[in-house]
Structure 1
């Protein structure tokens, strides 16, 4: 029995985005944490078309290979971290699209957030995302990592945040591990 799978989802797809830079920082911390088998889904690389499945996702009767592949990635995860910017007071359209492609694959899994942006650090995006994930029976952790004025923390292409962000990220990883373990029986019952 291996470590639980933590799926880090990079939610920005815009050219010139800093999402991968932010994700690299978090993925390195998650690797040091050593509690998870860390995997990455970059929505910019997945390039899911705007919802093009003919059947409701609850049915899991997927017609397209990109949906089947995305379903397998999400199904295999025990916990998630969404790395997301804030666009116009909310989260990105590609993230909403990726979430809406699936249904049961998300259930009974904790989700943490690493948000970034300007003055709010992406907190408004996180707040608008929480009702979406809770509708899918995910458990949104109350604490999240927020990186305000993120561009000022990138040095030579590497994110160098303060100790507060690093400490919060480590605490979030601990909590993700605890909650993923606590929800494991529900995931098992759901799969059956």
Structure 2
């Protein structure tokens, strides 16, 4: 599914984010930035060891040894990936929205888009952040992600945003959420 928003494009697709040819892809990282499972592990494996070294440098020089806070974003090169850049953001662990998880998830998308715009990036691919091992409900996550992205695209000239979803089920949930949003506008 593809929609135009104020001269920008939002596209939903099923695919492998490590194969996306957008200028940037977003890594649903953990706070250490040192790789992990799911999307994070796949991106680190596909990018090669240079990505890990770049993340270690950010951790040392930018974060002063601390973890990247939930909802924040940093950028590295893409190394062996088709994408030129990787934007790393830490999604919230779902705890029933008792720790402001919806706002933190929205921050992941918004901060990643803002960082991309600052760097002159005009195309970006996102995974469904926090819906794997962090257990954020996909239905709610889709609404948060799509609302944040469409709100950004309504006021910013950007280019293309691709939601690269892992499964048919995730795609169906995101498509239903997007159609519901478009029908209420």
**TM-score normalized by the length of structure 2:** 0.37
More helix, by proportion: 1
**TM-score normalized by the length of structure 1:** 0.36
Which structure has the bigger radius of gyration? 1
